[in-house]
Amino acid sequence: MLKKIYGLFGFFIPFISLFASYPWPFKPVNDPHPITGTLGEYREGHLHAGVDIGEGIGTKVYPVVNGIVKNV
């Protein structure tokens, strides 16, 4: 039963996160920024797993939520 419930949530969580609203990780946080790559975009044999934001080299990036980044 737990596996069934987890599977249901695992299916909906990506869709729910599409509707979440976060500020941009660049200043000004509420102004538009150029999108240069989109989630699910086809790229040489795979689908892109993120969103690319076209800002210049050296642009400071700010966290939009609390958390810890791990390099796995």
In a domain, 44, yes or no: yes
Q: Are 35 and 54 in contact (CB under 8 A)?
A: yes
Please give the structure tokens belonging to residue 31: 């102004």
Give a yes or no: residue 16 inside a domain: no
Tens place of pLDDT for every residue, the chain, 72 residues? 444 444 444 444 454 455 556 788 888 888 888 999 998 999 999 999 888 888 989 999 888 888 887 877
Torsion of CA 13, 64, 40, 20, to 10 degrees: 40
The answer to whether position 70 is within a domain reads no
Assigned domain for 45 exists:
yes
pLDDT score, position 51: 87
C-alpha to C-alpha distance for 38 and 70, rounded to whole angstroms: 23
Residue 8 covered by a domain: no
**Full domain range(s) for residue 41:** 23-63
The pLDDT, as a whole number, for residue 5 is 44
Is 5 within a domain?
no
| Count: domains in the chain | 1
